[in-house]
A and B are shown apart, each in its own frame.
Chain A
Amino acid sequence: MRTFAASLTTLRDLVCFGLTGFALVWLVQRGAEQLGYTWHWRQLPRALFTVSEGAFVPGPLLKGLAVTVEITLISLVLAALIGLATALLRLSGSFVGRCLARVYLESIRNTPLLVQIFFLYFVMAPIFDLGRTATAVLALSLFEGAYASEIFRSGIASIGRGQWEACYSLGLSRVQSYRRVILPQALRRVLPPLTSQAVSLIKDSALVSTIAVYDLTMEARTIVADTFLTFEIWFVVAAIYLALTLTLSALANALERRYPRIA
């Protein structure tokens, strides 16, 4: 009886899912019709890749994807380092350290990323002779690092006082306690929010197209300007971003399953 009810629920869900999907496709189709839009899916593969003389030649979108992945990966590592360092500073006994961390955190969190990118690009980059890509990486790392630091801090604070006391009673130093006992537990706990921060980073990386870094979004804008394949290109670009973020989430899930001990 239960199984019958369960399969009935599943069936109902499937029907709802199908109807929603159908409605979405219909809406898009209708929008295109009202705009007098004609679809040109056939031109799309060229934007992704071409095959000339049996060799695979990546198109502008794939090249842009490579840039996006590169910028994101470097920023991810830097943001994690900045975030962890800031969190440790904020929890440290040093007054100056705590102040510095606080100023960094508040100034980054309370201004728009776009403004930060422009500020770094137009004001800081000439002073320090930074390239566009370096500026983009710096802006993203600083921005996401501020949010990551709050995640790290809450994770570290969530580890009970008893763990610290056990470390201290065994003669461990503060650094040893952090490294071997507190951080391993805290990192495992903050993996889920850290993953959503990484997903944000991937999405926010689209903003670097504003300083003419040829990432996925910038390449898309160029193609759209040339070919007017507005709907097709942006659908594909959205799908690529989705694939990227879903891959990341899957990796994080696998990591969580790998270390089930600490909850």
Chain B
Amino acid sequence: MQHAAAMTEQNETIVVAEHLNKAFPGPVVALDDFSVQVKRGEVLVLIGPSGSGKSTFLRCLNGLEAIDSGRIVIDGVPLDDNESNRLAIRREVGMVFQSFNLFPHLSVLDNINLAQCLVRGKSKFEATETTGALLHKVGLQEKMHAFPDELSGGQQQRVAIARALALQPKVMLFDEATSALDPEMIGEVLDVMRTLAQEGMTMVVVTHEMGFAREVGDRVVFMEAGRLVEEAKTADFFLRPIQERTREFLRQIL
């Protein structure tokens, strides 16, 4: 269904970020006049050296970090000082963190149920139904009653993805979702992300997994020092990079 929606609205822009500026005390420039747009159903991959502002940009998109200036609009809702707008955007934007951030005092079931009940006003029964389906999707149905500290890193991250999906978000943000994982667990998380992309989920992905970026990404943005250095379709980006800086970076990591 999501896939069909993606087909019909293929050219509709869902994430607009214009002229974003952000500095951290120091001062460290995290975003420098950074603009990018994401279309519905598109997978946008952000790459760049560490400290280039990729994660900061992601965290600005759902208001975890405030921008100094610029404009963010998600599915028609502007992210501004209005608290209800901010909550509305967070409800439509799911986020997956590098360090999972599961709630350690809650079971897997309650981790995924919590926001459904609090934010969507579902009954526990309805929420549990959704949670069951999501756990099936990420292949962890048998872990429903386990606690986070009983799971491997890969399993925890898959639960975190299910938790973010539970609100049926319009956009999913992945902030180095596999960077904290042991190598043998990266695959299982990437598989889930790949499936999501195939289903037509709009995704903004910060990753160091170039193989994954190449295979799943529709478009790649290369950032450095808070600036957009190069933006291109995935195939072009990896095969025919235009900027010298991009070529140098790709030489280093490939």
Contacts and interface: CB of A to CB of B under 8 A. Distances in A.
A238 B149 CA distance: 44
A171 B99 CA distance: 19
Pick from A169, A181, A188, A261 the residue with the most CB of B within 10 Å: A169
B32 to A, nearest CB: 24
A166 interface: yes
Contacts of A173: 87
Contact of A261 (B105, B114, B164): B105
B239 interface: no
A168 interface: yes
Interface range for A: 10 to 19
Nearest to A184: B105
A166 B101 CA distance: 6
A181 B95 CA distance: 17
A107 interface: no
Interface string A162-186: 1101101111110010001100110
A262 interface: yes
B114 A170 contact: yes
Contacts of B87: 171, 173
Interface in B57-94: 62-64, 87-88, 90-91, 93-94
Interface in B27-82: 62-64
A185 B90 contact: no
Contacts of A170: 90-91, 114-115, 119, 163-164, 167
Interface residues of B, number: 26
Contact of B64 (A168, A176, A259): A168
A86 B115 CA distance: 28
Nearest to B118: A176
Contacts, number: 63
Contacts of B163: 170
B204 interface: no
Contact of A162 (B94, B101, B147): B101
A168 B105 CA distance: 17
A169 B104 contact: no
Interface in B172-205: none
A165 B64 contact: yes
Nearest to B91: A171
A171 B167 contact: yes
B101 A172 contact: no
B212 interface: no
Contacts of B93: 169
B97 interface: yes
B97 A185 contact: no
A205 to B, nearest CB: 33
22 contacts: A162-B97, A162-B101, A163-B101, A163-B103, A165-B97, A166-B103, A168-B64, A169-B62, A169-B97, A170-B90, A170-B91, A170-B115, A170-B164, A170-B167, A171-B90, A171-B91, A171-B115, A171-B167, A172-B119, A173-B87, A181-B105, A184-B105
Query: What 9 pairs across the A-B complex have the smallest Cβ distances?
Result: A171-B91, A166-B101, A170-B115, A169-B95, A162-B101, A171-B90, A171-B119, A262-B105, A184-B105
